[in-house]
Structure 1
Amino acid sequence: MKCTIKKVAVIGSGIMGSGIACHFANIGVEVLLLDIAPKELTEKEQKKGLTLQDKVVKNRLVNEHLANSLKSKPSPIYHQKFASRITTGNIDDDLSKIADADWVIEVVVERLDIKQKVFEQVEKYRKPGTLITSNTSGIPIHFMSEGRSEDFQKHFCGTHFFNPPRYLKLFEIIPGPNTSKEVLDFLNGYGEKFLGKTSVVAKDTPAFIGNRVGIYGIMSMFHQVKEMGLTIEEVDKLTGPVIGRPKSATFRTVDVVGLDTLVHVANGIYDNCPDDEVHELFKVPDFINSMMENKWLGSKTGQGFYKKEGKVITSLDLDTLEYRPQQKASFATLELTKTIDKPIDRFKVLVKGKDKAGEFYRKNFTGMFAYVANRIPEITDDLYKIDDAMKAGFGWENGPFEIWDAIGVEKGIELMKAEGLEPAAWVNDMLKSGNKSFYTVKEGNTYYYDIESKSQKKVPGQDSFIILNNIRESKKVWSNSDAIIQDLGDGILNLEFQSKMNTIGGGVLQGINKALDLAENEYDGLVIGNQAANFSVGANIGMIFMMAVEQEYDELNMAIKMFQDTMMRVRYSAAPVVVAPHGMTLGGGCEMSMHADKVVAAAETYIGLVEFGVGVIPGGGGSKEMAVRASDLFHKNDVELNVLQEYFLTVAMAKVSTSAYEAFDTGILQKGKDVIVVNKDRQLAEAKKYAKILAEAGYTQPVKRKDIKVLGKQALGMFLVGTDSMEAGNYISEHDKKIANKLAYVMAGGDLSESTLVTEQYLLDLEREAFLSLCGERKTLERIQHMLTKGKPLRN
């Protein structure tokens, strides 16, 4: 099926509709966003003498919804200018415009009768062959297209985005009874390649895959918390990052999503799945009903399981239903996992716990194992789709079957039986057939156990991905404790950081230099990329702090020079270097990206030079590089100061982009050179492709720059006047001013009497000298210590 999506019509502009519209705008698609016209005038409209027939009135709802969405945090859109790709309208006047759309998405209220009326109207105007989908989260798809034409039914299915559409990767595709295979295949590929999603084709069963399993997990937790006498803080401690789940864990997540949303889906499963073996578990407990009656729905009503009172966050006591101060949760079992970096390696330890935490995990995991195994083939025929749905829709690092594999399939069954549970028959059949795990890895590819054939089958769609977990050891070329180099094939190496939070210290710098040696002498190119949650949070400030406190300035000078020299090796390597940032790419991680031949950034990249927050200036070439980039934009003398000032403010205000697209505005990424990929899973494969293109095009080692124009006293004077006035107005502290003045000195090229052409090394020396002098300041050490202990910046 050949189909190009140039224009999408979204009908329904609520939170989900506006979010979906924004995400299509994110990827460059033209969007028509429609909603109903209001039935009554507002007081303001009446005073203006407007009528219900005026266009501004008819479009009021859709415009208000979109405006609210664009103002929300986190933002649904990569860059505010992308909102211009969205045109608004109302169903009365503008529904005929869907004739120009390639895809119509219905996102109206969750009522079958209303949806059917919308589709009846849509069919009058849509052109044959246009995709038509519903974003329902629970209404059976087969009911919606009843009475519609053959062409409509052939091109109709459910496409369930998870909220917020920009950030949650799950994209469930639910076929109707007559949906063509070509349509399903197209949507599956489009979701993955263009929307950046994990596409999962689900069966038309209540709540589909993600919510069926996810709501089971939350509802079982609601019952367990009472049975085991746990507090909500204890449950959130046990179900958060320690097991590879979001920081919001269970109860804080429900507060964010809204208790009413959760109850709506749970009631839907309870009403429509009478044969579910744990049917009664979906019955809402009394304490939840009380919260619903009290309108304690979470963030939207100001209180739920947690409540903010002034600056203090209180927690709900589930026995008394009264709010109380938060209680710190701690368990001996969790202490045993502190030295285990990866959640997947912790599960074996957690289920052996002798305390309440161990008991909780045994009950929780075995219940989940039994439940997901029994959902096959009801909700899907393939076990990997359940894992994909939970990882992409609920932010789990590992899906249920991956966790079961980590514990051991046979050990999992032993634990299940101890809890009075039995595995599904197919699991026993799997073990009898000689397959001892749900997943295996062969030749860099992941295989899953296929129930029908009783054999391991390759998980589809991997050909466009490079999965480091699958090749880390088999393709290893070199490693130390902080970095590992893999052979990606075709003459391209990859360097992966493995330090805590991918901080850049001596081990990582050694890895970069080793990778560059290999790339220059034995390979064709180098990618620097990883698949952790974040690319890198920057330099190892703990090491800098210890050297500074001990006043080991010679050693600190050498460490900073090694960092600078390594960044310059990245810039002037004899082999092309492509850096692939994603997630948090801060400080040193940002500096590394700025020195690459090309950056292949994930759309969700939060990149910036944040060193001001710990009382220093960028010292790994970042301050130098901002001066270089400003110099490259100098065209006329009358604007040079303004250009330099923009780059200065990017560093001085520690600006961090909220997407890779915003990083073009700050000058961190460069138009015409750097590229963005929406699907992070494709990022390393794309980075490898660009490294190969650069190598095959006849890559030439760059010549070191000696032509950087610095403005000297002219710029320095402007900056110093600016910092004086900022301090006088109490916008910055005395120490902020000191840091800013050091940065000004570097970016102005010192106090030269006139504009001068200098080398990069000249600027690097100024940068290092400024960095070292700031490390001798007590207030800088206080800032670094505060960041190390509290995890947030100190303004002193």
Structure 2
Amino acid sequence: MKRTIKKVAVIGSGIMGSGIACHFANIGVEVLLLDIVPRELTEAETKKGLTLESKVVRNRVVNEHLANSLKSKPSPIYSQKFASRITTGNTTDDMAKIANVDWIIEVVVERLDIKKLVFEQIEKFRKPGTLVTSNTSGIPIHFMSEGRSEDFQQHFCGTHFFNPARYLKLFEIIPGPKTSTEVLDFLNEYGSKFLGKTSVVAKDTPAFIGNRIGIYGIQSLFHLVKEMGLTIEEVDKLTGPVIGRPKSATFRTVDVVGLDTLVHVANGIYENCPTDEQHELFKLPDFITKMMENNWLGSKTGQGFYKKVDKDILSLDLDTLEYRAAKKANFATLELTKTIDKPINRFKVLVKGKDKAGEFYRKSFAGMFAYVSNRIPEISDELFKIDDAMKAGFGWENGPFEIWDAIGVANGIEIMKAEGLEPAAWVTEMLASGSESFYSVKEGATYFYNIPTKSQVKVPGQDSFIILNNIRESKKVWSNSGAIIEDLGDGILNLEFQSKMNTIGGDVLQAINKAIDLSEKEYQGLVIGNQAANFSVGANIGMIFMMAVEQEYDELNMAIKMFQDTMMRVRYSSIPVVVAPHGMTFGGGCEMSLHADKVVAAAETYMGLVEFGVGVLPGGGGSKEMALRASDLFRKNDVELNVLQEYFLTIAMAKVSTSGYEAFDTGLLQHGKDVIVVNKDRQIAEAKKHALLMAEAGYTQPIRRTDVKVLGKQALGMFLVGTDQMEAGKYISEHDKKIANKLAYVMAGGDLSEATLVSEQYLLDIEREAFLSLCTERKTLERIQYMLTKGKPLRN
């Protein structure tokens, strides 16, 4: 049966319900969001003379929840315009409308009795064949559908989104006793393809996969922190980015999520998993019980493990339960990993540490390895699902079995034994069978150890992905210190940056030119994309700073010209060039996207020309390109200045899009040309498809533009008056004004006496001249130095 989702109903509009509604709106689905009718009027409603029968009152709960969600940061929605796809209502007046939807998602309070009442109400109006799912985070699915019709039960299961629904990728699908295979297969594919999620089919066990393992990990740390006498700052240092986990690490993450949420799930596991070998570990330590009594739940109550007082962040002393000034955490073992870029390569070093950090890692990994091995087949038959769940639901860069592989399976067992722990029998059987690792890579695909067959089996669902980690060595065509060129097959190459933060320096520029040379001679097209955390934070400003400080202006001029010329090669090569940005795409990374034949951007792309923050203007063709894009939109003389001003402000205000969709609003992406991919894992494969399509359709090398309309003195005068007023009103500094005036000169095409058609090269030359002149300014050098040392912009 072919099933399409055009409209969904979300029942329950709290933080989670509104977040799910917003994410469906993100992908273009029409949403009906319902919640209960209030039982009494507010003071304000009484004063207005409203009654409980007024529609505005009856929909108050849902409307307030959705409004709060849309105002929250980070935003749950790709663009505020998408909120118009959500219609609100209440469960008393509007339940009949669910007869017109394709999928009903229940997101009400975590109480079985209330959920069962909701499902009873849903069944009265639901049309046969409509999907019904629950977003429960722990209530057994088989209890919920008791007493419902056969059709209801066949189309019912759990679909557990993680909060926030837009950003966390885990989508757990939990079948009920009678859920049909067709429904599970559909949801699995829909989650991946349309919702951009990592879909994991889980068993109907307490807390499913993600929370069962995640809460074990946090609870074990709660006990370990006391056992080893560690501070919360030390644990957060040890469990953050150094091991590929989010910056919020452990205790900050609990503060953000809410201690009460964690306690609720931990209690559920303790009560419902009596045979778990680590059952007692899910008992709450005394300090957690005391924090719950004090209502120290984290961000929602203003204090938890951390507390902000004025501008200071205080930390909780777990012995005295009093707040104190935060202490800096340092460990010799962590210093040894500073030269190791990838977290996966650090684990071998970390577990050998001779200090407290090494002891901590050995104890925590020993416990985690033993625990996950014993959860198979209880919570999952396949080990890769546990890794997928932890990466997608908790933001871990590597799952527990991947970490174990990195340390070495046999070595991991030795660490466990030293802590008095044993792995599940299947692990030792795996080693005995000749398999030395949980994963292997063959012919560009990932394989995992399958316990029943005792063999390596291909991880399903990879066919729509290209995983660069799997092909980097076997398909390498060329490399240097900053980039690798890989053969994606079908005549398409991929250029992957390998520099720190994927900055663009001389080695990356050399690689771009080499990739275009190779593509033009022997291939059909080129993708510029990578699968790091961010696409590129821009040009290597350290190199620019050194040249400017040494006053090597000729060399700096040549370096900027090489950057510009390379961007123009991206635009004017004889093969299609597709750029695939994601995450932070700043400065030079953004300029590269501006010059592509097509951009295939991830939905989570934060794109901006941010050069003003370091005291310069976009010098790699970005200023030129924004003037050109404005020129292409000129229609009537009376609006030309307004159009140009919009593009000017995108640069002058260093606007960064909060999603790929928002980049269309700032003019950095173009409708009809550029596309968005919701699932980042599919991005390289999708970019390859577009490059191939263009090549096979008969790609024609573009002709260089000589018809860019610039407005000269008319525009320049308007911009200079504007910057004068901004400085006079103290909105910008004197140096801000200087940079803005230089940008104005470039985008106006200079002080030409009238509107004139000029070439791109003319604009590039005055852009480069403006960039160079700003590099001679002391205040610009101060800004660059501050960014290099502090990692944030300086206003001077």
- Alignment TM class, shorter chain as reference: over 0.9
In the TM superposition, what is the alpha-carbon distance from 1:247 to its structure 2 partner? Answer: 0.4
> Counterpart in 1 of 2:631?
631
Q: Per the alignment, in what secondary structure is the counterpart of residue 554 of structure 1?
A: helix
1:586-636 per-residue CA deviation (whole Å, 9 max, x = no partner) reads 000000000000000000000000000000000000000000000000111
The one-letter amino acid paired with 1:235 is: V
1:349-395 per-residue CA deviation (whole Å, 9 max, x = no partner) reads 00000000000000011110000000000000000000000000000
> Counterpart in 2 of 1:733?
733
> Counterpart in 2 of 1:269?
269
> Counterpart in 1 of 2:604?
604
Query: In structure 2, how many angstroms separate the alpha carbons of the residues matched to 1:666 and 1:330?
Result: 43
Query: In structure 2, how many angstroms separate the alpha carbons of the residues matched to 1:656 and 1:685?
Result: 26
1:420-452 per-residue CA deviation (whole Å, 9 max, x = no partner) reads 111100001101111110000000000000001
Given the alignment of the two structures, is residue 577 of structure 1 paired with residue 577 of structure 2, yes or no?
yes
Q: Gapped runs of 5+ residues in structure 2?
A: none
Given the alignment of the two structures, is residue 480 of structure 1 paired with residue 497 of structure 2, yes or no?
no
- Count of residue pairs brought into register by the alignment: 796
Given the alignment of the two structures, is residue 556 of structure 1 paired with residue 556 of structure 2, yes or no?
yes
> Counterpart in 2 of 1:504?
504
In the TM superposition, what is the alpha-carbon distance from 1:2 to its structure 2 partner? Answer: 1.3
Q: Per the alignment, in what secondary structure is the counterpart of residue 196 of structure 1?
A: coil
The one-letter amino acid paired with 1:495 is: L
Query: In structure 2, how many angstroms separate the alpha carbons of the residues matched to 1:474 and 1:661?
Result: 35
> Counterpart in 2 of 1:10?
10
- Aligned pairs for 1:238-277 (under 5 A) are 238-277=238-277
> Counterpart in 1 of 2:647?
647
Query: In structure 1, how many angstroms separate the alpha carbons of the residues matched to 2:700 and 2:672?
Result: 19
> Counterpart in 2 of 1:301?
301
> Counterpart in 2 of 1:191?
191
Query: In structure 2, how many angstroms separate the alpha carbons of the residues matched to 1:772 and 1:301?
Result: 51
Q: Per the alignment, in what secondary structure is the counterpart of residue 9 of structure 1?
A: strand
> Counterpart in 1 of 2:447?
447
Query: In structure 1, how many angstroms separate the alpha carbons of the residues matched to 2:381 and 2:373?
Result: 11
> Counterpart in 1 of 2:353?
353
The one-letter amino acid paired with 1:775 is: C
> Counterpart in 1 of 2:679?
679
In the TM superposition, what is the alpha-carbon distance from 1:51 to its structure 2 partner? Answer: 1.1
Query: In structure 1, how many angstroms separate the alpha carbons of the residues matched to 2:228 and 2:296?
Result: 23
> Counterpart in 2 of 1:381?
381
> Counterpart in 1 of 2:29?
29
The one-letter amino acid paired with 1:300 is: K
In the TM superposition, what is the alpha-carbon distance from 1:234 to its structure 2 partner? Answer: 0.5
> Counterpart in 2 of 1:794?
794
> Counterpart in 1 of 2:697?
697
In the TM superposition, what is the alpha-carbon distance from 1:116 to its structure 2 partner? Answer: 0.2
Query: In structure 2, how many angstroms separate the alpha carbons of the residues matched to 1:771 and 1:327?
Result: 42
Query: In structure 2, how many angstroms separate the alpha carbons of the residues matched to 1:617 and 1:664?
Result: 21
Query: In structure 2, how many angstroms separate the alpha carbons of the residues matched to 1:631 and 1:49?
Result: 54
Query: In structure 2, how many angstroms separate the alpha carbons of the residues matched to 1:447 and 1:77?
Result: 35
Query: In structure 1, how many angstroms separate the alpha carbons of the residues matched to 2:789 and 2:268?
Result: 46
Query: In structure 2, how many angstroms separate the alpha carbons of the residues matched to 1:686 and 1:432?
Result: 41
Q: Per the alignment, in what secondary structure is the counterpart of residue 89 of structure 2?
A: strand
> Counterpart in 2 of 1:229?
229
The one-letter amino acid paired with 1:76 is: P
Query: In structure 1, how many angstroms separate the alpha carbons of the residues matched to 2:366 and 2:596?
Result: 47
Query: In structure 2, how many angstroms separate the alpha carbons of the residues matched to 1:547 and 1:329?
Result: 36
1:532-580 per-residue CA deviation (whole Å, 9 max, x = no partner) reads 0000000000111111111111111111000000000000011100000
- Aligned pairs for 1:457-472 (under 5 A) are 457-472=457-472
Query: In structure 2, how many angstroms separate the alpha carbons of the residues matched to 1:706 and 1:365?
Result: 62
Q: Per the alignment, in what secondary structure is the counterpart of residue 92 of structure 1?
A: coil
In the TM superposition, what is the alpha-carbon distance from 1:697 to its structure 2 partner? Answer: 0.6
The one-letter amino acid paired with 1:324 is: R
1:488-538 per-residue CA deviation (whole Å, 9 max, x = no partner) reads 000000000000000000010011000000000110000000000000000
In the TM superposition, what is the alpha-carbon distance from 1:284 to its structure 2 partner? Answer: 0.5
> Counterpart in 2 of 1:409?
409
Query: In structure 2, how many angstroms separate the alpha carbons of the residues matched to 1:226 and 1:417?
Result: 22
In the TM superposition, what is the alpha-carbon distance from 1:646 to its structure 2 partner? Answer: 0.3
- Aligned pairs for 1:128-207 (under 5 A) are 128-207=128-207
> Counterpart in 2 of 1:715?
715
Query: In structure 2, how many angstroms separate the alpha carbons of the residues matched to 1:615 and 1:303?
Result: 38
In the TM superposition, what is the alpha-carbon distance from 1:54 to its structure 2 partner? Answer: 1.1
Q: Per the alignment, in what secondary structure is the counterpart of residue 757 of structure 1?
A: strand
The one-letter amino acid paired with 2:350 is: L
In the TM superposition, what is the alpha-carbon distance from 1:125 to its structure 2 partner? Answer: 0.2
1:65-105 per-residue CA deviation (whole Å, 9 max, x = no partner) reads 00000000000000001000000000000000000010000
1:103-126 per-residue CA deviation (whole Å, 9 max, x = no partner) reads 000000000000000000000000
The one-letter amino acid paired with 2:146 is: E
> Counterpart in 1 of 2:423?
423
Query: In structure 1, how many angstroms separate the alpha carbons of the residues matched to 2:6 and 2:637?
Result: 43
Query: In structure 1, how many angstroms separate the alpha carbons of the residues matched to 2:397 and 2:667?
Result: 33
In the TM superposition, what is the alpha-carbon distance from 1:279 to its structure 2 partner? Answer: 0.5
Query: In structure 2, how many angstroms separate the alpha carbons of the residues matched to 1:132 and 1:469?
Result: 38
The one-letter amino acid paired with 1:786 is: Y
> Counterpart in 2 of 1:526?
526
> Counterpart in 2 of 1:340?
340
Query: In structure 1, how many angstroms separate the alpha carbons of the residues matched to 2:315 and 2:790?
Result: 22
Given the alignment of the two structures, is residue 104 of structure 1 paired with residue 104 of structure 2, yes or no?
yes
Query: In structure 2, how many angstroms separate the alpha carbons of the residues matched to 1:210 and 1:442?
Result: 28
Query: In structure 2, how many angstroms separate the alpha carbons of the residues matched to 1:752 and 1:295?
Result: 67
Query: In structure 2, how many angstroms separate the alpha carbons of the residues matched to 1:637 and 1:115?
Result: 61
Q: Per the alignment, in what secondary structure is the counterpart of residue 153 of structure 2?
A: helix
Query: In structure 1, how many angstroms separate the alpha carbons of the residues matched to 2:356 and 2:122?
Result: 55
In the TM superposition, what is the alpha-carbon distance from 1:49 to its structure 2 partner? Answer: 1.4
TM-score by length of 1: 1.00
> Counterpart in 1 of 2:665?
665
In the TM superposition, what is the alpha-carbon distance from 1:50 to its structure 2 partner? Answer: 1.2
Given the alignment of the two structures, is residue 60 of structure 1 paired with residue 60 of structure 2, yes or no?
yes
The one-letter amino acid paired with 1:98 is: I
Query: In structure 2, how many angstroms separate the alpha carbons of the residues matched to 1:316 and 1:614?
Result: 37
Query: In structure 1, how many angstroms separate the alpha carbons of the residues matched to 2:442 and 2:564?
Result: 40
Query: In structure 2, how many angstroms separate the alpha carbons of the residues matched to 1:308 and 1:49?
Result: 41
Query: In structure 1, how many angstroms separate the alpha carbons of the residues matched to 2:2 and 2:636?
Result: 50
The one-letter amino acid paired with 1:634 is: F
Query: In structure 1, how many angstroms separate the alpha carbons of the residues matched to 2:695 and 2:657?
Result: 30
In the TM superposition, what is the alpha-carbon distance from 1:53 to its structure 2 partner? Answer: 1.1
Given the alignment of the two structures, is residue 311 of structure 1 paired with residue 304 of structure 2, yes or no?
no
Query: In structure 2, how many angstroms separate the alpha carbons of the residues matched to 1:639 and 1:686?
Result: 37
> Counterpart in 2 of 1:286?
286
The one-letter amino acid paired with 2:715 is: A
In the TM superposition, what is the alpha-carbon distance from 1:48 to its structure 2 partner? Answer: 1.4
> Counterpart in 2 of 1:656?
656
Q: Per the alignment, in what secondary structure is the counterpart of residue 174 of structure 1?
A: strand
Q: Per the alignment, in what secondary structure is the counterpart of residue 358 of structure 1?
A: helix
> Counterpart in 1 of 2:327?
327
Query: In structure 2, how many angstroms separate the alpha carbons of the residues matched to 1:589 and 1:365?
Result: 38
> Counterpart in 2 of 1:50?
50
Query: In structure 1, how many angstroms separate the alpha carbons of the residues matched to 2:491 and 2:435?
Result: 35
The one-letter amino acid paired with 1:223 is: H
Q: Per the alignment, in what secondary structure is the counterpart of residue 702 of structure 1?
A: coil
In the TM superposition, what is the alpha-carbon distance from 1:730 to its structure 2 partner? Answer: 0.3
Q: Per the alignment, in what secondary structure is the counterpart of residue 92 of structure 2?
A: helix
> Counterpart in 2 of 1:763?
763
> Counterpart in 2 of 1:115?
115
1:261-311 per-residue CA deviation (whole Å, 9 max, x = no partner) reads 000000000000010001010000000111111111100011111111001
Q: Per the alignment, in what secondary structure is the counterpart of residue 137 of structure 1?
A: coil
> Counterpart in 1 of 2:490?
490
Please identify runs of 4+ aligned residues in structure 1 that moved more than 4 A: none
